[in-house]
Amino acid sequence: MIETRVIPVTPFEQNCTLLWCTASRQAVVVDPGGDLPRIQAAIDAAGVTVERILITHGHIDHAGGAAQLARTLNVPIEGPQEEDAFWLAGMPEQSEMFGFSGVEAFTPTRWLHDGDTVSVGQETLQVLHTPGHTPGHVVFFHPGARLALVGDVLFVGSIGRTDFPRGDYDDLINSIRTKLFPLGDDVRFISGHGPDSTFGRERLHNPYVGEG
């Protein structure tokens, strides 16, 4: 079994997610964009031990706090897929552009690829490569819990922006329709911003990718 806690971080209210294995209380922190004291408080409140940091994509509100948190907790960083290397390398420029402080460029311990798995205690997350918002964006899926962490691919009633460098609208739509929706209508997802939804609800009602 897994449990999750969403921690909104950065001025962009990005949904950093603490996800843990209830049996072992081993955890991952997904997308620690910043506000590390808030993330640490959530870790302490849950009483879990973080074993790795996972990154969906290289935007600063998702990855800006990763290097510092990895050093503090002495854990590896896994993800995104390496097509996002230019975003991670440009972290200081992103930092300047958006007025963030204390942000460092980094190279993850492990790049992730479509079909990879990541362990969390006794649990396993599946990795899906979902380009479009960024070319190296990945999504994490737990089949048993019917839960996906989709970063900035899909939102309630909306989809990720594709006007950034190397963004691609057709790739994004394709990622949602051929990678995410086939996981099942019952799958709940946590987005990078805003409330949760399910793939079934978006498949019916989302004006960008809906079939309703």
Q: Which residues are at the interface with Zn ion (CB under 5 A)?
A: 59, 152
- Compute the C-alpha angle 200/206/209, nearest 5°: 90
Q: Tell me, rounded to whole angstroms, the distance of Cα 93 from its chain centroid.
A: 21
Nearer to Zn ion, 51 or 84 (CB): 84
Closest separation between CB of residue 211 and Zn ion, Å?
A: 25
Shortest distance, CB of residue 148 to Zn ion, whole angstroms? 16
Nearer to Zn ion by Cβ, of 123 and 152: the residue is 152
Rounded Cα distance, 100 and 93, in Å: 10
Considering the complex, state which of residue 167 and residue 184 has its C-beta at the smaller distance from Zn ion: 167
Least Å distance, CB 3 to Zn ion, is: 25
Q: At what angle do helices 36-46 and 66-73 cross, to 10 degrees?
A: 40
In whole angstroms, give the CA distance from residue 199 to residue 53: 25
Closest contact distance (angstroms) between CB of 94 and Zn ion is 10
Distance CA 190, CA 75 (A): 23
Of residues 9 and 21, the one with the C-beta less far from Zn ion: 9
